[in-house]
Amino acid sequence: MKRPGLWLATVAFLTFFLGPFFWQVLTSVWPDGQLTQPLPTSLTFDNYVSVLWGRPFLQVLVNSLLAASLTTLFCMAVGASAAFALAKLEFRGRNLLLAAALAVSMFPPIATVSPLYLILRATGLRDTLVGLVPPYATFALPLTLWILTSFFRQLPDELYRAARVDGCTPLGAFWRVLLPLAAPGLATTAILVFIFAWNEFLYALTFLSSPEKRTVPVAISLFASEHKEPWGEIAAASVIATLPLVVMTILFQRRIVSGLTAGAVKE
């Protein structure tokens, strides 16, 4: 307790950042009839039961899982080889491509909504989860490229040269030598892309119209009952939708921080 200012600031920041989340957790186990009281006198899991079994929320969770996983797989498949080339090979337009990826990640999503809507409608992909993958790639692919490129750059050039001397083609060196070594980078990228895709709202709101296709953010934003806002159920749904992310973030915090600042991309 040598530096009281330090502790005061720590407590203040902890309260500000964690307080609202704890209040939401408390609300989720707060009996509906007692919401008018200052604090609940008993706790209940009714809200969880009614969210999971009274609403199509399990379906919604599966939808989000699908959309986020497909986006992650797609971006890794397309982005890994490109990130390797950006980090280790010399070719014209290398810096231009990195700058373009950065610029694309800065696009306001609203700017591309109207043409993407028309394209998805014309191809029959509107209101499908697969149809979310291309729009999601607008933010997920640049993120993949930046983070993976910085990971490939950290691998020593000698590895690549040795593989080439041993007779590998550049593609072979990438596939057999560097890609396995970049596994931690791939994991970091996958975690971040998954989180961003899981949290996306505008595209999912615009391109999905059937209630049974909704992703978690869309479902929660449109959560309403006929009479009043179901705060307890919203809180329960929020906790269900957020807890896996919070646990994942705390488990992988080092990776996430290094990935975010390596790529230095997005919120």
Partner 1 sequence: MNGTVKATGSMGRERRQAYMLVAPAVAVLMGVALYPILAAIWLSLHRLILVFGERKWLGLENYGFMLGDARFWNALGNTGYFTLVAVSVELLLAVPLALLLNTSFPGRGLLRASVLVPWAIPTVVSAKLWAWLFNPDYGLINRLLPGQDINWLGVPGYALHAAILVDVWKTTPFMALLVLAGLQGISEDIYKAARVDGASRWRSFVSITLPLLKPAILLALLFRTLDAFRVFDAIFVLTEGGPANTTETLSIYAYKTLMRAGNFGYGSMLSVMTFLCVVGLSLVYIRLLGKEGR
CA–CA distance, 196 with 117 (Å, rounded to integer): 21
Region binding partner 1 by CB under 8 A among candidate stretches 47-55, 78-86, 124-132, 178-186: 78-86
CA–CA distance, 254 with 267 (Å, rounded to integer): 17
| Least distance from partner 1 to the Cβ atom of residue 14, Å | 6
Among 43, 89, 183, 187, the residue binding partner 1 under the rule CB under 8 A is 89
Binding mask 107-126 for partner 1 (x = CB under 8 A): xxxxxxxxxxxxx-------
* Residue 6 binding partner 1, by CB under 8 A: yes
Among 68, 177, 235, 236, the residue binding partner 1 under the rule CB under 8 A is 235
Count of residues near partner 1 by CB under 8 A: 96
Region binding partner 1 by CB under 8 A among candidate stretches 43-51, 55-63, 88-96, 178-186: 88-96
* Residue 60 binding partner 1, by CB under 8 A: no
59's CB contacts (< 8 A; 6+ apart) are 212
Region binding partner 1 by CB under 8 A among candidate stretches 3-11, 42-50, 54-62, 182-190: 3-11
User: What secondary structure, in 3-state letters, does 131-167 show?
Assistant: HHHHHHHHHHHHHHHHHHHHHHHHCCHHHHHHHHHCC
Question: Max CA-CA distance within the chain?
Answer: 74
